[in-house]
Amino acid sequence: MDEFLMFYAPFIVLIGAIILAFIVAPMDGAATRPPKEKKK
């Protein structure tokens, strides 16, 4: 188990993170929405 975590898992996490970054990057709807109005 530790062998897998030391030798293969680091690259899997790295490549996975790069792919995830490309997937979520275009989802920017939340950036352009105004914040909620304050309750009066």
Partner 1 sequence: MGNEESVFFSRVLTELTLSFHIIYATIGVGVPLMIMIAQWVGIRKNDEHYILLARRWARGFVITVAVGVVTGTAIGMQLSLLWPNFMELAGQVIALPLFMETFAFFFEAIFLGIYLYTWDRFDNQKKHLLLLVPVAIGASFSAVFITMVNAFMNAPQGFDIVDGELVNIQPLVAMFNPAMPTKVAHVVITAYMTSAFILAAIAAFRLLKGSDHVYHKKALFLTMKLGLIFSIGAAVIGDFSGKYLAEYQPEKLAAAEWHFETEGEAPLMLYGVLDGQEVKYAITIPYALSILAHSDPTAEVIGLNDFPEDEIPPLYIHYLFDTMVTIGVLMIMVSGLYWLGRHMRWRFIHSRWYRWLIVAGGPLTVIAIEAGWWYAEVGRQPWILRDIMKVPEAATTSGHVDTMLYLFATLYLILGVGSVVVLRRMFRKNPVEREIADREAEVREGTRKGGDHR
Interface with partner 1 by CB under 8 A: which residues? 1-2, 5-11, 13-14, 16-18, 20-22, 24-26, 28, 30-33, 35-36, 38
Smaller CB separation from partner 1, 11 or 40 = 11
Query: Least distance to partner 1 from the beta carbon of 23, Å?
Result: 10
- Tokens of residue 40, six digits: 């009066």
Query: Least distance to partner 1 from the beta carbon of 40, Å?
Result: 14
- Is 37 exposed, middle or buried, given 0-12, 13-18 or 19+ CB atoms closer than 10 A? exposed
